[in-house]
Amino acid sequence: MAPTFNEKPGDLIEIFLWGYQHWAVYIGENEVVTFVKDVSPSSGSFEGLSSRGEVKLEKLTDVVGNDRCQVNNLLDEEYKARKPSIIVEVARRMEGDEPEYDLVTYNSKHFAIEMRYGKAESRQVCI
């Protein structure tokens, strides 16, 4: 069953997983673009904070599963969001890209914020 909140294309979706949050960009029709850490054994992802990541197009219901999620356009009062059509276009274009994933400097939250506001930022981890 699809989540029942009022998500709109371009919205940021915060997904509450056990012990952390994952972020995605809603693009419509129960689809999101997500940035995930490559967890394949050959990626070396278990050896440190950095590894390759992958930008994926997935069903929101598949990403959320039985976890809780909410729309969270957390920086709308601080930054002007791009137009929804631009957010969706840019996020879709990135599908299949494999940027560097770094827990501190570029994770799913940085990715989602970059798609919505045009700048990667996260206040989740402070150094």
pLDDT for 123: 57
Q: Where are the domains of the chain?
A: 12-117
For the stretch 44-64, pLDDT in tens is 444 455 689 999 999 999 999
Question: Looking at the predicted structure, is the pLDDT value of residue 122 above 90?
Answer: no
Task: Look at 84 and 4; give whichever has higher pLDDT.
Answer: 84
Mean pLDDT of the chain: 87
- What mean pLDDT is predicted for residues 62-69? 94
Architecture of domain 12-117: Alpha-Beta Complex (3.90)
Measured CA distances, 44 to 3, 38, 74, 94, 110 (Å): 34, 9, 32, 23, 21
Enter the pTM of the model.
Answer: 0.84
Task: Look at 6 and 45; give whichever has higher pLDDT.
Answer: 6
